[in-house]
Amino acid sequence: MSKIRVTIWNEFRHEKTNDVVRSIYPEGLHAEIGKALLECGDIEVTLAALDDPDQGLPDEVLNSTDVLFWWGHMAHGEVSDELVEKIRQRVYNGMGLVVLHSGHYSKVFKSVVGTTGNLLWGDNLHEIMWNINPTHPIAAGIPSHFHIDCEEVYAEPFQIPDPDEQVFQSWYETGYVFRSGCVWKRGAGKVFYFQPGHETVPTYHNPYVRRILQNAAHYCKPAETGFNYLYAGNSPYIKSYFAPEDEIEELKK
Ligand code: ZN
* Per-residue pLDDT tens digits for 217-245: 999 999 988 877 677 677 777 777 667 77
Instruction: Quote the ligand 1 centre to 196 CA distance (angstroms).
Output: 8
- The whole-number pLDDT of residue 96 equals 98
Residue 42, classed as helix, strand or coil, is: coil
- The whole-number pLDDT of residue 63 equals 97
Instruction: Quote the ligand 1 centre to 197 CA distance (angstroms).
Output: 7
Instruction: Quote the ligand 1 centre to 83 CA distance (angstroms).
Output: 23
Instruction: Quote the ligand 1 centre to 185 CA distance (angstroms).
Output: 25
Helix axis angle, 29-38 to 207-220, nearest 10°: 70
Low-confidence ranges of the chain (pLDDT < 50): none
Instruction: Quote the ligand 1 centre to 21 CA distance (angstroms).
Output: 11
Instruction: Quote the ligand 1 centre to 20 CA distance (angstroms).
Output: 13
Q: Domain ranges in the chain? A: 4-117+178-225
Q: CA–CA distance from 39 to each of 128, 167, 184 (Å)?
A: 25, 23, 26
Task: Taking the CA atoms of 58, 8, 15 and 194 in sequence, report the sign of the dihedral they define.
Answer: positive
Instruction: Quote the ligand 1 centre to 246 CA distance (angstroms).
Output: 61
Query: What architecture is the 4-117+178-225 domain classified under in CATH?
Result: 3-Layer(aba) Sandwich (3.40)
Contact of 150 with 201, CB cutoff 8 Å: yes
Instruction: Quote the ligand 1 centre to 189 CA distance (angstroms).
Output: 26
Which residues, in sequence order, are CB contacts of 112 under 8 Å at separation 6+? 87, 88, 91, 97, 186, 191
- The whole-number pLDDT of residue 210 equals 98
Query: What's the chain's Rg over C-alpha atoms?
Result: 20
Instruction: Quote the ligand 1 centre to 92 CA distance (angstroms).
Output: 28
Instruction: Quote the ligand 1 centre to 199 CA distance (angstroms).
Output: 6
Its pTM surpasses 0.85: yes
- The whole-number pLDDT of residue 250 equals 75
β-bridge partners, 124: 152
